[in-house]
């Protein structure tokens, strides 16, 4: 799951002006917290991977 986090983080941070931090994994679903560049908490996302495709919601 940490490999998924690293791949998601690289993709998400490269395409947004936000940072992500790993929170927890429950039943194979990774939860990440999203922060602004000034380190203000904004929201959370669930991250999954199916057949090599990373999805978040």
For residue range 2-36, what is the model confidence (pLDDT) as tens digits? 799 999 999 999 999 999 999 999 998 999 999 99
- DSSP for residue 1: -
User: What pLDDT digit, counting tens, does each position of 35-46 carry?
Assistant: 999 999 999 999
Please report the pLDDT score of residue 1 as a whole number: 59
Q: Which residues contact 18 (CB under 8 A, 6 or more apart)?
A: 12, 34, 35, 36, 37, 42
The pLDDT of residue 4 is 94
pLDDT at site 40: 98
CA distance 13 to 34: 10
Those residues with Cβ within 8 angstroms of residue 14's Cβ, 6 or more apart along the chain or in another chain: none
Determine the length of the chain: 57
């Amino acid at each position: 799951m940490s490999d998924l986090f690293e791949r998601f983080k690289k993709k998400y941070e490269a395409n947004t002006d936000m940072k992500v931090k790993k929170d927890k994994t429950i039943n194979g679903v990774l939860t990440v917290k999203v922060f602004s560049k000034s380190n203000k908490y904004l929201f959370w996302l669930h991250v999954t991977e199916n057949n090599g495709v990373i999805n978040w919601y």
